[in-house]
Chains A and B, each alone.
Chain A
Amino acid sequence: MLFPLTIVILLALLGLPLFCVLGAIGLLGLHYGGTDLSGGLADVYRLAGAEAVSLSTIPLFTFAGYLMAKAKTAQRLVRMAEALLGWIPGGLALVTLWTCAFFTIFTGASGVTIVALGGLLLPELEKSNYPKRFSLELVTGSGAIGLLFPPALPLIVYGIVYGINAGQITDSGTQTFQIDRFFYAGIVPGLLVLGILSVYCIAMGWHAKVPRKKLDLREFGRAFWEAKWELPIPFVILGLLGFGLAVIPEVAALTALYVFIVESFIYKDVNLRRDLFNLTRESMTLVGAIFMKIAAATILTAYFVDAGIPERLFDLLSVYVHTPRAVLLVLNVVLLLVGCLMDIFSAIVVVVPLIVPAAAKFHIDPYHLGVIFLLNLEIGYLLPPAGLNLFIAAFRFNRPITQLYRAVIPFILLIGLALGIITYFPQLVVVPKATGPQIKMAAPTE
């Protein structure tokens, strides 16, 4: 299959849509493996099954994001943030970083953050004199950190898949993994990443001589009052989830409905007759482009699974790798690649079962491993040439993909730095103490 594969990759460089590239490689693999191509399409239909529940947040938050971008939400929020934080160098950049991270916790996909918040904040950053490259980088990369905090769906799915794979009862328990403790594992590492990036934001604000403002509480009060309909959204989301009133997809629908009502009928920034049809169609064009890529990635994953590619890769590595640190290092490399090619949930389901035995063999702390896993997948989304978030940003902001490749390099290096620190200091992965008698879980034995 080397010849057709070369042609496909060549065509990819010449501008063949990415979804065709991934799907073609998947179909080629299935074909040469003697497997019915329809099996790959059966996997595409899984996107309308249980997986659609997490998928539904993409169109809903994207729609809400386009509504807010069309309305003057950003101006209202920025006015408020500047009054309160404008005296800090890089104040607006910090607001962008933390807001995007926070939003991603609920959407579970940093790409959606780019669509929903990036469109709001990019023009404001550029207006405030931040360098264009930095502004683009910030809105493209900021969503990446959110996945480490609960209740981000990838964190939960990872915990469940890992737990099931590691959590078989045998008489000689050697390793314990508890999902509810894992939920907290990403908090300190996530804060570390945010801390490093915050320093970067302040440095960029300083360096670019972004004009600083005095702390103006009166102006803050006025801006706060003006934004009173939009500000409660994150708190309402937290409340709905925290009190068990709604699940995340419902929250997404309620957010879309609420934002629609507020922007159309209270602020009247969105005109029903003139804007709504085009705006909805525009937002779903982006969702469609993302969906086509995710669907094609499932065809590619079908081939990987059918041919046992990840197993073979790990078998090959196990010949050369003999220490825990080396395992983590190699894992980092493999996961970056996986994050670049596969959809995050497929990646978890396919790859996690393969790393559980390795983790057991080398006594790698499963919480530590989980954090590294998720952080890697996120960097993979920012990684040229095929990182999905780069393409989403290129689409959303109508920029050449090569410009995105260059823009995100510092972000990749800084998150990579954090990843290195976390890899070498497992102490940073803090989980609550086990409470009460626990069930001993044995790691699977070969």
Chain B
Amino acid sequence: MAVEADTGLPEQIEPERGHACPPDWPAPIRALTQLSRVLALVEGAGIIICMLAVIFLSTWQFVERNLVQRHVPFFHSPPWGDGVIRHSVFLLGFFGGAYATFTARHIRIDAVTRVLSVRARLALRVLTTIAALGIVTMFTYAAWGFYKVTLEEAGDASQAEQFFTSSRGALIIVIGYGVVAFHFLVQIALDIGWLVSKQPVPPTYIAEASAH
């Protein structure tokens, strides 16, 4: 099993990854952490639902088309199926992206951070995460502007029968980046908490990839 642990195979992923804080920390931080964890649960559930939706609807369309072309009657796939597949893929991206934020696993350059001590790493991460929070807040704000424009499309005939109208789609972006921003915020609070508290930091919390 040693080799597999090295390669980060699924069974080796520690379930305790993500935001957590000791019970003796101030209530506001604990509340933020708790909310972050609840959101992460929702993201996990959303991932399962979207994955099921994509597989189920795609398979249905495939079976239906091939049977109907051979003049075998079959249950009609819903007219909104295509839109739901496309938006489920889109949602998977945002749910996964939010969860990657919760577990601090966005792709980034670790050339500098990995040579630092744990405390220096934490301090640097506070800095970069504040920047990330600012940037993603801008994404959210700009997405809001886009959302307002899509509201004008509400009456379009092309949106008839669509479950995901363009304004609901745009709302995915607003909420998606909003949640990512929130996870960043909680991470900043927790990182500062560990810096201030002088307690030993759990190794999984700020682990860097290991060079084998």
Contact = CB atoms under 8 A, between A and B. Distances in A.
A and B touch in the complex (CB under 8 A): yes
Interface of A: 8, 11-20, 23-24, 27, 36-42, 44-45, 47-49, 52-53, 55-56, 58-60, 63, 66, 69-70, 119, 122-123, 126-127, 132, 245-246, 249-250, 252-254, 256-257, 260, 275, 277-295, 299, 385, 391-392, 394-403
A17 B107 contact: yes
B4 to A, nearest CB: 6
B87 interface: yes
B90 A391 contact: no
B211 A391 contact: no
Contact of B51 (A38, A59, A397): A59
Contacts, number: 260
A37 B142 contact: yes
B111 A402 contact: yes
22 contacts: A13-B111, A13-B112, A15-B113, A17-B108, A37-B141, A45-B166, A48-B87, A52-B85, A56-B54, A122-B7, A123-B4, A132-B212, A250-B58, A250-B61, A252-B58, A288-B100, A292-B100, A292-B106, A391-B108, A401-B109, A401-B110, A402-B114
B11 A48 contact: no
Most interface-central of A52, A63, A281 (chain B CB within 10 A): A281
Q: Is the interface of A mostly helix, strand, loop or mixed?
A: helix
B151 interface: no
B143 interface: yes
Given A15-B112, A403-B211, A59 B89 contact: yes
Given A47-B90, A289-B97, A281 B113 contact: no
A342 B145 CA distance: 24
B188 interface: no
B125 interface: yes
Contacts of A400: 110-111, 114, 208-211
Given A289-B106, A398-B8, A23 B135 contact: yes
A439 B51 CA distance: 45
A56 B89 contact: yes
Contacts of B143: 38, 41, 44
A345 to B, nearest CB: 14
A32 to B, nearest CB: 14
Nearest to B150: A45
B132 interface: yes
A8 B146 CA distance: 25
Contacts of B160: none
A288 B54 contact: no
Given A257-B59, A395-B105, A402-B111, A288 B98 contact: yes
A394 B107 CA distance: 8
A36 to B, nearest CB: 7
Contact of A280 (B47, B89, B108): B47
Contacts of B173: 41, 44-45
Given A123-B4, A250-B62, A19 B93 contact: no
B33 to A, nearest CB: 19
Top-6 shortest CB links A-B: A288-B96, A291-B93, A38-B145, A253-B58, A398-B8, A17-B106
B90 A48 contact: yes
Interface string B144-162: 1110010000000000000
A391 to B, nearest CB: 4
Contacts of B94: 288, 291
Contacts of A290: 107
B50 to A, nearest CB: 8
B96 A284 contact: yes
Given A27-B142, A38-B143, A12 B89 contact: no
Interface residues of B, number: 76
Contacts of B97: 19, 288-289, 291-292, 295
B109 A12 contact: yes
B127 A14 contact: yes
Given A38-B143, A288-B100, A394 B89 contact: no
A70 B58 CA distance: 24
Interface string B47-84: 11001001100110110001000000000000000000
Contacts of B106: 17-20, 289, 292
Contacts of A291: 92-94, 96-97
A8 B132 CA distance: 10
Contacts of B13: 278, 282
Contacts of A299: 139
A357 B89 CA distance: 36
Contacts of A66: 10
B167 to A, nearest CB: 10
Given A257-B59, A282-B13, A403-B211, 9 more contacts: A13-B111, A15-B108, A15-B109, A17-B106, A48-B89, A48-B172, A66-B10, A280-B48, A288-B98
A255 B66 CA distance: 17
B170 interface: yes
A254 B62 contact: yes
Contact of A391 (B61, B107, B139): B107
Contacts of B103: 285
Contacts of A45: 146, 166, 169-170, 173
